[in-house]
A and B are shown apart, each in its own frame.
Chain A
């Protein structure tokens, strides 16, 4: 009984840590994209449209991977 509660708790803690790491990594990735995009726009304001599109695509791809991580954590937490 106690053992199962402990194991459930550990699983939840693992899920929480996993979600946190996923958010951290996604934040780092998207932050880097954002900073580079702002720098590029500052250098080449006329190309801002193209830079924004490329930025959004890269951000969406990173976000996709991070969301996979979150979904796995959610499955651990709910299962």
Chain B
């Protein structure tokens, strides 16, 4: 067991080091070299490629064939306006329509075919993560319209079909999260709480599917979720909430002046920690699973395979659990912040002194 842990630690160290190397070397498109010539396997690159966003949806590659789905590329630059074309046309080797791709970044090219960094290119492409977001949105709408229809059809009767699967989960979010954390005013927050719970859960699970995009492990997505929570908390904050933030009752005056900036920073760190928690948990889970699989190719030995597949399987099951836990924790903490924003003034408050 100790040697296994040692190997794991070594691998994680190696992958971190190679990630750093990958980030600092800016010379070549490494991915391109990897496919062209049978270069040495670099687990850091493989992992970063899998957890990152990309302009095409890559499933698998053999020496002769790449199983990819090309996605639309939408770029805007001041002089050329919008250009829309398929990502299959934008290969690593040549420019298309005056644009060139390098490390998943699109550059404009000049007459000689070199990258022209002076031209600002706005990349609005439907990338792998955006496509995955759209798929999950469609999936959520389909599933929950079916659930909602069930409530119309089975009014006053026992739930049926997909409705009977989601009813206990919705009831759990209402009773254990919203009602307990927010209190009597929970009802107007229920749509948002249910939306983020199922959005995060569905996307965590979709990310674990083979070929799935790492959507909830994308910091931009978690940033938007956290910002939504922050905005809803702030606009719903009542006088009691703002009084606690700006002029904390029950503490001496010199302390109030110190506490005020701390409380204001605290308003920002709460959504910030929500963003980092979801991003880091999901990304770390993907990295660990990919590290175990990468072990086989790193040692180039078939005897490593049962071990790493076993560990990988174990981690995948753990990630199935983490997918649910992270959705739950995000919803729970969001509900706690809403609860603190709408909490009513208690009459025997500490403000009256002891």
Q: Is the interface of B mostly helix, strand, loop or mixed?
A: helix
Check A60 for interface membership: any CB of B closer than 8 A. Answer: yes
Partner of B277, one of A57, A63, A78: A63
Whether the pair A56, B176 counts as a contact (CB closer than 8 A) is: no
**Most chain A beta-carbon contacts within 10 A, residue among B13, B277, B325, B332:** B277
Asked if residues B19 and A64 are in contact (CB atoms below 8 Å), the reply is no
> Is B169 positioned at the interface, with any CB of A under 8 Å from its CB?
no
Residues 1-55 (chain B) with a chain A CB within 8 angstroms: 13, 16-17, 19-20, 23-24
- Give the contacts of A59-79 with B (CB-CB under 8 A): 60, 63-65, 67-68, 70-71, 77-78
Question: Inside 8 A of B332's CB, which chain A residues have their CB?
Answer: 53, 56-57, 60
Question: How far does the Cβ of A50 sit from chain B's closest Cβ, in whole Å?
Answer: 9
B333 interface contact, C-beta 8 A: yes
Query: Roughly how many angstroms separate A60 CA and B332 CA in the complex, as a whole number?
Result: 10
**Is there an interface contact between A12 and B20, defined as CB atoms closer than 8 Å?**
yes
Q: Which residues of A contact B16 (CB under 8 A)?
A: 12, 15-16, 77
* A-contact bits for B306-350, CB 8 A (1 contact / 0 none): 000000000000000000010011001100100000000000000
0/1 per residue, A6-19, Cβ < 8 Å to B?
A: 00100010011000
- Given known A67-B280, A71-B280, contact A57–B17 (CB-CB < 8 A): no
Interface size class of B (residues with CB under 8 A): 20 to 34
Tally A-B pairs: CB < 8 A.
44
CB distance from A68 to the nearest CB of B (A): 7
- Point out residues on A near B: beta carbons under 8 Å: 8, 12, 15-16, 49, 53, 56-57, 60, 63-65, 67-68, 70-71, 77-78
A and B contact pairs by CB, cutoff 8 A, 30 listed = A12-B17, A12-B20, A15-B16, A16-B13, A16-B16, A49-B176, A53-B176, A53-B332, A56-B325, A56-B328, A56-B329, A57-B332, A57-B333, A57-B336, A60-B277, A60-B329, A60-B333, A63-B281, A64-B273, A64-B276, A67-B273, A67-B281, A68-B273, A70-B280, A71-B276, A71-B280, A77-B16, A77-B19, A77-B20, A78-B23
Interface residues of B (CB under 8 A from A): 13, 16-17, 19-20, 23-24, 176, 180, 273, 276-277, 280-281, 325, 328-329, 332-333, 336
Q: Which 9 A-B pairs have the closest CB atoms?
A: A64-B273, A67-B280, A60-B329, A78-B23, A77-B20, A67-B276, A64-B277, A67-B277, A71-B276
Contacts of A68 in B (CB 8 A): 273, 276
